[in-house]
Amino acid sequence: MKKKKTVAADQKDVAGEMGANGVADTGTNGISREIIDSSKKLVKNEKANIARAENKMREVLMKQIRDEKKELEKLLKETKSCLYGTKNQSQRETDEILETGKRMGLALTPKDARMIKRELKSLTAAGSQNSMAHALKTMEQRVGKRGTIFILMSVIWIIKAACPMPANASAYQVKAKALATIQTADAAGYFSPAFSGLALLITNTSDLFDAIEAFEADDGTGSSEAVEAAVALVKISIDLLVAYVNKLCLADQTNASAIIAAAGMKEVHKKPKNVKPDFSIEQGATGEVKLTSLAGKFGGKRVATNYYWQYGLKAGITMTWINLPDTVNRCKTTATGMPIDTVVFFRKATRTARGGLSPWSAPIAISPK
């Protein structure tokens, strides 16, 4: 017992000595509070420096991405191309509205298209007939008179006429004569005032008949060129006749279908949804891009077609187009060995015996993987 008391007394003396020397017992194996605080401050500063460095690096990378995006947008604009696989459903809907407006002769802008989409959603959301009527009644207040005209013309299908003509010159003349006879008789009473170009249509149709007879006589008085020229003149008269019938239809949409039938013509049908694009591309295996064209047609019927394919690379302001192997009666091909992660442009053209060589399609860009 005496020995234990001696040890305790010694420990007490040591503690008293440490207190006298100004060293506190921190419970950290003798490390002072100042050293611990200094270490914590160094760690905190180091973390802050790392965070600042990371933020700076992130800003540099984001700026690089923005610059590359601007450069790509500039490149696509210069080459009048679109980028494969970058359009979402909303953008595709905007493109569809712009295309519909173009077919109807309306110069719609992307802003107009977005406005039309908003109004269409508003009309779709109308829960009752009264709500629909109110939405239509107040449309002009929201988008103005011009916007209302755009929307109504875009969403309301106008019944109008088309007059497909046969490719054969003799059949062309027979149908043109029948159309002129219908206008002359006006059995249904729809064609008032009368077609102002009727007399010229009759004359041109008669001249086409004479040109065909001279050519078929094979006595040197006629030629295929003369027949083609006569057909071209009749076509002008037919186009004017279609415009005349459509003017009557626009003024009387209630009887538009009957007017078209009485004129010996056909109604233009609405464009079906999900129509395939004329030219499309798709990422294939590594370094490969699949190209697809609509099948070649003439007069609405599939015909033998040669397909021409090209890919383009741009260096500075110079675009270089490189031929890919042609295909015959095959509207698909695969471009192989394409540079990886580099913007590559693709386009196609077709040639048919009767339709001749088509223009090159609008280029489509992709960065092959």
Name the one residue in this structure whose structure tokens are 């729809």. Answer: 190
Give me the percent of the chain exceeding a pLDDT of 90: 28
Mean pLDDT on 269-293: 79
Q: What is the mean pLDDT of residues 142-169?
A: 75
Q: What is the pLDDT of residues 12-47, one digit of tens each?
A: 444 444 444 444 444 445 567 777 777 777 777 777
pLDDT in tens, 333-359: 999 999 988 888 999 999 988 878 888
Dist. CA 221–CA 89, nearest whole Å: 60
CATH of 279-366, one of 1.10.4000.10, 3.40.1500.10, 3.40.50.150, 2.60.40.10: 2.60.40.10
With a cut of 70, say whether residue 87 has pLDDT above it: no
Q: Are 367 and 342 in contact (CB under 8 A)?
A: yes
